[in-house]
C-alpha cells in the first residue's frame, strides 16, 4: 500500500508562502495525491489533488516531482485562518480516505 510521510509540524509567518512537503515514494502510477486540511473543531476539508502535472486552484498549488515520489502543497499567502493540520493522502484502498498524522501548520502573526 502506498503511504505518505510528512513533517509533524511547521511554522509560517503570516503573509508568506507556506510550503508543506510530503513523501510518497511507493505511489503507484495511477494513484492521485490528495490534500485535505482540518481546522480545529471542523471536519476535514478538501484542498487539491493531482496525478502528474502541477495543479493550482483558488486555495493552493500542488507541485508533484517528475518521479512522483514527493509533492509540495503551497499556500501562497498564508493567513492566520490557514492554521490547521494538513493531510497528504494517496489512495491506498478503493474509496477509503486513509489519514496519517498530518502536518500541524501554525501561521504566526
Interface residues with other proteins (CB under 8 A) are 32, 34, 36, 41-46, 49, 91, 94-101
- Which residues fall within 8 angstroms of residue 17, CB to CB, at 6 or more apart? 74, 75, 76, 77, 78
Smallest separation, CB 97 to other proteins (Å): 6
Grid coordinates 492566520 are at which residue? 80
Smallest separation, CB 87 to other proteins (Å): 8
Smallest separation, CB 7 to other proteins (Å): 16
Smallest separation, CB 47 to other proteins (Å): 10
- Which residues fall within 8 angstroms of residue 29, CB to CB, at 6 or more apart? 68
Grid coordinates 471536519 are at which residue? 43
Of 14 and 61, nearer to other proteins (C-beta) is 61
Distance, C-alpha 84 to centroid of its chain:
11
Starting at the earlier edge strand, list the strands of the sheet with 9-13.
9-13, 103-108, 84-90, 33-38, 45-50
Of 19 and 99, nearer to other proteins (C-beta) is 99
Of 46 and 56, nearer to other proteins (C-beta) is 46
Of 81 and 96, nearer to other proteins (C-beta) is 96
Amino acid at each position: 500500500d502506498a503511504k505518505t510521510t510528512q513533517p509533524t509540524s511547521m511554522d509560517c509567518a503570516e503573509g508568506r508562502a507556506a510550503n508543506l512537503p510530503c513523501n510518497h515514494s511507493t505511489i503507484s502510477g495511477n494513484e492521485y495525491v490528495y490534500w485535505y486540511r482540518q481546522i480545529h473543531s471542523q471536519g476535514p476539508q478538501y484542498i487539491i489533488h493531482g496525478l502528474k502535472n502541477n495543479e493550482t486552484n483558488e486555495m493552493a498549488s500542488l507541485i508533484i516531482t517528475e518521479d512522483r515520489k514527493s509533492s509540495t502543497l503551497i499556500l501562497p499567502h498564508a493567513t492566520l485562518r490557514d492554521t490547521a493540520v494538513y493531510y497528504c493522502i494517496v489512495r491506498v484502498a478503493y474509496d477509503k480516505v486513509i489519514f496519517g498524522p498530518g502536518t500541524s501548520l501554525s501561521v504566526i502573526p
